Amino acid sequence: MTQLPDRLLSSGCIKFGTFTLKSGLISPIYIDLRLLASYPPLLREVARTMAEIARQLSFDRIAAIPTAGLPIGVALALEMDRPLIYPRRQVKGHGTRRTIEGAFEPGETVLLVDDLITRGESKLEAIAPLEAAGLVVRDVLVLIDREQGGRQDLAQNGYRLHAALQLTDLLNALHAAGHISPQQYTETIKYLQPAT
């Protein structure tokens, strides 16, 4: 765990600059965990780290959110030897026209898995088709919590968030190791603090 922040930075999964997030927020840090699939040892380490948390939870299947969460979900499913399903972003007009890919039975509990969380909207969007299909969702597991309201958004809707890394802890580790500049650290920490 102690080396994971360094490896995420050196692989380019963490970048500093000026970025517009999916939520519309402007951020001095960008976390691109889609790159994990290009680094199998790092993806394996992420899966092992997340599996430590997942083993403390009760669920029948893993449900990964496409697209960034899917490689992580597959790696976690392999690490834990647990079945994987995923909700489709768009239902195709041909074939089976399923909203959820993979085998499952209504009434089963799924652990929703994604790469990170900023706000809760995308997680709630992914939960909707799962629950509509009769699946039970209680827990959401991500690698990184950006600490910008996602935990509270999920809690208000009755879901629990579990994160392998809090963004402030990740930044503290990178700063302590001298892998980011004091300016990068200060600017990003200030950005994460709620306006008073």
Tens of pLDDT, residue by residue over 153-175, are: 999 999 999 999 999 999 999 99
> pLDDT grade, residue 90 (50/70/90)?
low
Q: Which domain holds residue 84?
A: 4-192
Among the listed residues 190, 186, 173, the one whose alpha carbon sits nearest the alpha carbon of residue 2:
173
- The reported pLDDT for the residue numbered 144 is 97
Average pLDDT, stretch 98-113? 95
- Is pLDDT at 121 greater than 50 in this prediction? yes
pTM of the model: 0.92
| pLDDT bucket at 192, cuts 50 / 70 / 90 | confident
The CATH number of residue 156's host domain is 3.40.50.2020
* Counted domains in the chain: 1
